[in-house]
Structure 1
Amino acid sequence: MYFRHSSDIWSAFPELAAGVLYVEGIHPDVSAADYVTQFEAAAKARLTDAAESDLPEIQAWRRGFSRMGLKPTQYRSASEALLRRFRKEGTLPRIHPLIDLCNAASLAYAVPIAVFDLDKVAGHLEVRRAAGSEIYVTFAGETEHPEPQEVIFADQEGRAHARRWTNRQSGYSAVREETERVLIVAEGLHAGAASDVERLIDELGAAIRSVWSVNPRTAILERLAPRFDS
């Protein structure tokens, strides 16, 4: 499989910084609690001085959503939604060690992180504009179709694995207990995103290596090198 952003996404968002991790050997029978605690502590420190809406990473995604024709307070990036819940509740629900880890890293960096079960992805995965015929399955099992020109994560068979770019992932390819092989994608639009995303990918890769005793493959994508091949 391969992952990429389409050329028109790079053209419309030249400030995009993206990093990926490809991981095999994931399972739920581990504890990532130490790393989750460290990432959450970093997020708490940032939220002591500012609300999530004041963070430059979140403001950049709000501007990005506005450029996509979306109301940024109606459709929030995944990182903003997580930070908002974390600020109000002081914690996030525990779902799966990998999801808990990636959610905590997203909190710390205020950067959206998507995690896809690759056994549910047909062929390649591309961030592109929707035709409107793609199939999206919610976590409740309901079927939707993205709006034409909406930015989605789409596979080779026309299944949408995320809607409104970083707003909402599909339940179809969500990580579950039986998940073994995943693609993790982190994306930033803020000034300094390139170095922040690279650092995030390095830290997340080190945590995964320690917790699961596996060796993730990582890459930083850019307009001139937009594709990752597994």
Structure 2
Amino acid sequence: MRFRHVPEVWADHPTLSAGVLVVDGVSGAAEVDEAVGGYVRRALTMLADGPVSALPQIQAWRRTFAAMGLKPTQYRCAAESLLRRLGKDGTLPRIHPLVDLCNAASAAAAIPVAVLDRDRVKGDLEVRYAHGDETYATFAGEVEHPAAGEVIFADEAGQAHARRWTYKQSGASVVRPETREVLIVAEALHPGAAADVEALLTALAADLARAWPAARIPSAPAMLTSTAPVAKLTG
């Protein structure tokens, strides 16, 4: 299995930076409170310095969403949604130790992070423009069809595992209690994004290793570029 962004996405979004971690051996039983708390405190400090909309990471995604014909105040990238929820509630929802950790890290970096159950991805996974016939499973169990031209995470079976790029993940590959093998993806478009994505995923790998010491976790992420756009999905 491989993960990649198609050449058209790189061409249309030349400031894109992306990285992945492939992790085997996670479970729903792990202690992540200390790491999550540290990330949440960092995010709250960042929010105290100014509005979410002023962050360069969020501004870059807003410009990208607007260029795709989406209202940035209606469709917010995952990191912006997390930060706004954190600013309102003072905390983030707890779902699963792995998801909680990745959400908190995403908020602290203001960079979207996707976590997918690899067992539920059929064949290769690529970030590409939708053809219009793909299927997307909502968390409520409904099936949608992304509009042609929409940026999606698509597998070889025609499943869309994310709609509108970093806006919302699919219920098909959501992390569950029985999930053991995952793909973690971080993407950003702001100046200096490559270093920020690599730092985010490197820190996250260390947190994962502490929480799941028996899991197979790379010490560093695989960074993707337009000239090296493919990552093999093996642990």
1:63-212 map, 5 Å: 63-212=63-212
1:192 positional shift: 0.7
Alignment partner, residue 36 of structure 1? 36
Q: TM-score of the superposition, structure 1-length normalised?
A: 0.99
- Stretches of structure 1 lacking an aligned partner (at least 5 in a row): none
Alignment partner, residue 56 of structure 1? 56
Matched to 2:188, the amino acid is: G
For 2:226 and 2:76, the matched residues in 1 are separated by 25
For 2:33 and 2:47, the matched residues in 1 are separated by 21
- Stretches of structure 2 lacking an aligned partner (at least 5 in a row): none
For 1:47 and 1:63, the matched residues in 2 are separated by 20
Matched to 1:110, the amino acid is: A
For 2:101 and 2:200, the matched residues in 1 are separated by 12
1:215 positional shift: 3.3
- Provide, for residues 80-100 of structure 1, a one-character-per-residue CA deviation record: whole Å limited to 9, x for no partner: 001001000000110000000
Please state whether the residue corresponding to 1:73 is helix, strand or coil: coil
Out of 221, 225, 229, which is 1:226 matched to? Answer: 229
For 2:217 and 2:21, the matched residues in 1 are separated by 6
Please state whether the residue corresponding to 1:149 is helix, strand or coil: coil
Matched, 1:3 2:8: no
For 2:64 and 2:9, the matched residues in 1 are separated by 11
Please state whether the residue corresponding to 1:82 is helix, strand or coil: helix
Say how many residue pairs are matched: 230
Q: TM-score of the superposition, structure 2-length normalised?
A: 0.97
For 2:172 and 2:157, the matched residues in 1 are separated by 13
For 1:140 and 1:185, the matched residues in 2 are separated by 23
Indicate the RMSD between aligned Cα atoms, in angstroms. Answer: 0.7
2:106, 2:112 within 8 Å by CA — same for their partners in 1? yes
For 1:109 and 1:74, the matched residues in 2 are separated by 22
What is the aligned-residue identity percentage? 56
2:25, 2:216 within 8 Å by CA — same for their partners in 1? no
Alignment partner, residue 215 of structure 1? 216
Matched, 1:21 2:33: no
Superposed structure 1 runs of 4+ greater than 2 Å apart: none
1:59 positional shift: 0.5
For 1:204 and 1:30, the matched residues in 2 are separated by 14
Matched to 1:215, the amino acid is: R
2:52, 2:84 within 8 Å by CA — same for their partners in 1? yes
Please state whether the residue corresponding to 2:127 is helix, strand or coil: strand
Matched to 2:216, the amino acid is: N
